[in-house]
Structure 1
Amino acid sequence: MIRIRHLTLALLGTLAITPAAFAQDASTDTASGKRFAVVGGYALSEPTRNPEIDGARTQLDGDGAGTLSASYYINDNIAVEAWGAADKFSHRVRDGEGQKLGSVDAQPYAVSGQYHFRQADSTVRPFVGLGYYEQNFDGETAEPSGALAGQRIGVETAKGAMATAGVDVNINPTWFARADVRYLQGDSDVKLDGVTAGEAELDPVILGVGVGARF
């Protein structure tokens, strides 16, 4: 939660500064009609649910990772976005008493349709989106001294719907700052030594900030 607060403060600082920068850099150039955009950023992933393994409820810690997205704008308001984590979110798995059971890496990617409100050159442009995601899991490791010690852990790929809400703040007709929140809904089986032993319904919320360019 501390990391999320720091990310939020950084976002608020960006929102306070960029309108002035946009006004100073105003020119005959325009964002309207530019069809492609790329965004590089950083995001925090926090599971909203915890998996059940062998009948016992567990807890997953959140983590941060870099993200990338590329969008094609059908017009100034409608876009198709491909988004994903450029690195893996590393989650520690704990039991109900907070003792570490193991760890697992997650890497989501998604395709979605988005609607961007207001005109292309507006300083602040909110947007919403809906799409489909898959989240790969690997690096499943059991803690040597934990309850799962000696067992081979496997988590299948999660698949489902992704909802997005965010805001772009134009710095100039090419560059913009972005903040967004994504909710991924889906589940996957957890296996111990190849046998299904539970279900991982994580439904993570992913809060991100980034800088983008359109062309």
Structure 2
Amino acid sequence: MKKTVLAMMVLALGFAAGNATAQESPWQVRVRADYLKPANKSDAVGGIGASDRLQVNDKTIPEVDISYFFTPNWAAELVLTYPQKQDVTLDGQKIGTFKHLPPTLTLQYHFLPDALFSPYVGAGVNYTRISSVDLLNGAGRLDNSSWGLALQAGVDYKLDKNWSLNLDVKKVQIRSDVYAGGEQISRVKIDPWLIGVGVGYRF
């Protein structure tokens, strides 16, 4: 009888240890390809003429995301990439380039964390560092940085206990004043949509 009880206790402890091992890793890493589509809203240049004449190009960018799950439903995600170069046009004519590094941190809620399809929503903050500005042959400049809100929605499709496919959509606030000759001549709201597909690994 004692041996039977002891054997059952060992099996129970082994099962508990197996569950702890399966649940003890809260980390997930995703790699995505994001299509960046700016809203391209801007004030009239120099207060003259129509608005929205300044434009930033669309492009596809790589993205690496690191998530930490506090609970099965709640997670924080840090969105990273390398500095991205963008073209700037005025009335369709290229007037220069700049680079931006836009790390974003969101808090997510995962509705069905154990389901095959696991949808989530998130909200957080974006910080964009603007650098290597070359506008109007050096006469123009942008703000060095931008803080803004970020909203997110997506879904994971589980391939197995570790791997998943991901579809993700974010709306991010990125804004800057535009200067020429030391004077502010406009304000741009890039405010891009980021539509991403990728693959994730849960450790």
Please, what TM-score do these two structures have when normalized by structure 1? Answer: 0.75
Match of 1:195 in 2: 183
Match of 1:162 in 2: 150
Instruction: Tell whether 2:133 aligns with 1:137.
Output: no
Query: 5+ residue gaps in structure 1?
Result: 1-27, 143-147
Q: CA deviation at 1:186?
A: 4.4
Aligned residue for 1:131, secondary structure, equals strand
Q: CA deviation at 1:76?
A: 1.0
Asked if the contact 1:184/1:204 (under 8 Å) is kept, the reply is yes
Whole-Å Cα distance in 2 between the matches of residues 194 and 175 of structure 1? 52
**Could you list the per-position Cα deviations for residues 143-164 of structure 1 after superposition, in whole angstroms to 9, with x for gaps in the alignment?**
xxxxx23514233311111000
**Could you list the per-position Cα deviations for residues 94-123 of structure 1 after superposition, in whole angstroms to 9, with x for gaps in the alignment?**
122x11111222221111110111132x21
Instruction: Tell whether 2:69 aligns with 1:73.
Output: yes
Q: Which of the two has higher C-alpha Rg?
A: 2
Instruction: Tell whether 2:83 aligns with 1:92.
Output: no
Aligned residue for 1:119, secondary structure, equals coil
Aligned residue for 2:41, secondary structure, equals coil
Match of 1:45 among 36, 54, 60: 36
Asked if the contact 2:69/2:76 (under 8 Å) is kept, the reply is yes
**Could you list the per-position Cα deviations for residues 29-85 of structure 1 after superposition, in whole angstroms to 9, with x for gaps in the alignment?**
99766411011121121111333443463111111221111111111111011112x
Match of 1:103 among 97, 100, 109: 97
Aligned residue for 2:147, secondary structure, equals strand
Task: Name the % identity.
Answer: 28
Match of 2:13 in 1: none
Instruction: Tell whether 2:200 aligns with 1:212.
Output: yes
Q: CA deviation at 1:195?
A: 3.3
Asked if the contact 1:134/1:159 (under 8 Å) is kept, the reply is yes
Whole-Å Cα distance in 2 between the matches of residues 36 and 95 of structure 1? 44
Instruction: Tell whether 2:163 aligns with 1:175.
Output: yes
Instruction: Tell whether 2:46 aligns with 1:54.
Output: yes
Aligned residue for 1:212, secondary structure, equals strand
Letter in 2 for 1:136: R
Cα distance change, pair 170–128 in 1 and its aligned pair in 2 (3 A) = same
Whole-Å Cα distance in 2 between the matches of residues 47 and 31 of structure 1? 41
Asked if the contact 1:63/1:89 (under 8 Å) is kept, the reply is no
Match of 1:149 in 2: 137
Match of 1:124 among 90, 105, 117: 117
Whole-Å Cα distance in 2 between the matches of residues 31 and 94 of structure 1? 52
Number of aligned residue pairs: give it. Answer: 180
Whole-Å Cα distance in 2 between the matches of residues 168 and 106 of structure 1? 28
Q: CA deviation at 1:193?
A: 4.2
Whole-Å Cα distance in 1 between the matches of residues 71 and 162 of structure 2? 16
